Amino acid sequence: MSSSPEPIVSIQDVTKSYHLGKVEVPALRGVSLQVHPGEFISIAGPSGSGKTTLLNLIGCVDTATSGTVRVAGQDTKQLSERKLTDLRLHTIGFIFQSFNLVSVLSVFQNVEFPLLLQKKLNATQRRERVMALLEQVGLAKHAKHRPNELSGGQRQRVAVARALVTQPQIVLADEPTANLDSVTGQQIIDLMKAMNAERGTTFIFSTHDAKVMTHANAVVRLKDGKVLDRVTPAEAGLAMASGAEAHG
């Protein structure tokens, strides 16, 4: 946790609507949220409450209908496509529910991929960076394997390494444990938390899983496209025990 006064993510009165033909689907209806550097934040809420939409806006893969999304001090609406790509590539790491590894690339090549896009390190530097991370996630011996030769938990560890390889300030994870059994899911959260503690990387992850939420510094609960509240995991647990939390 950081006491930095400057939030790394600042969202003000954001709405987002999708259009399905003539039908307007409001996904976010006036969301404000501040995340400070080094936080380990869970976005929780029932299916359809807007978690993925919110992560997509923070990750600059989609734009708000109205309101302001500031990431690393930049108002994303003011940025050109080029600048948005730069922000995604240098400042943000992504982890997905379904791992999204490239099946024809080895574990090493998957993790190296963002570095190739960045064009900042030479081959030796890239090798050192990738192997150090694979060591950390316990997969150095699997560097030459293809993703389909790994278990789900191992694939997600590769994805964690890939998200961190550019040393981003923020890692966004959309339901990172949803396709894993609970023990393996726990290992992924432990790994994310270790990276958060060691590097000070800000993590924002969505989840349905109450157990996963307990590891967050704060739980931001969404309902019907609005922030219900921002609570500690203990408070979220109490609310769930009393039946106030709906699950998707």
Please give the residue ranges that form the binding site for ligand ATP (CB under 6 A). 18, 20, 25, 27, 45, 47-53, 248
Q: Which CB atom, from 27 or from 195, has the smaller least distance to ligand ATP? A: 27
Rg of the chain taking only CA atoms, in angstroms: 18
Per-residue burial over 149-166, b if 16 or more Cβ lie within 10 Å, else e, is ebebbbbbbbbbbbbbbb
DSSP code for 53? H
> In angstroms, what is the minimal distance from the CB of 39 to ligand ATP?
20
**Position 138, amino acid:** G
Could you write out the DSSP letters of every residue in 74-119? Answer: EEGGGS-HHHHHHHHHHHEEEE-TT----TTS-HHHHHHHHHHHHT
Q: Which CB atom, from 164 or from 204, has the smaller least distance to ligand ATP? A: 204
Q: Which CB atom, from 30 or from 48, has the smaller least distance to ligand ATP? A: 48
The DSSP bridge partners found for residue 44 are: 207, 221
> In angstroms, what is the minimal distance from the CB of 117 to ligand ATP?
25
Q: Are 67 and 14 in contact (CB under 8 A)?
A: yes
> In angstroms, what is the minimal distance from the CB of 62 to ligand ATP?
9
> In angstroms, what is the minimal distance from the CB of 128 to ligand ATP?
37
> In angstroms, what is the minimal distance from the CB of 149 to ligand ATP?
29
Q: Which CB atom, from 42 or from 169, has the smaller least distance to ligand ATP? A: 42
Look up tokens 């574990």; give the residue. 107
Q: Which CB atom, from 48 or from 237, has the smaller least distance to ligand ATP? A: 48
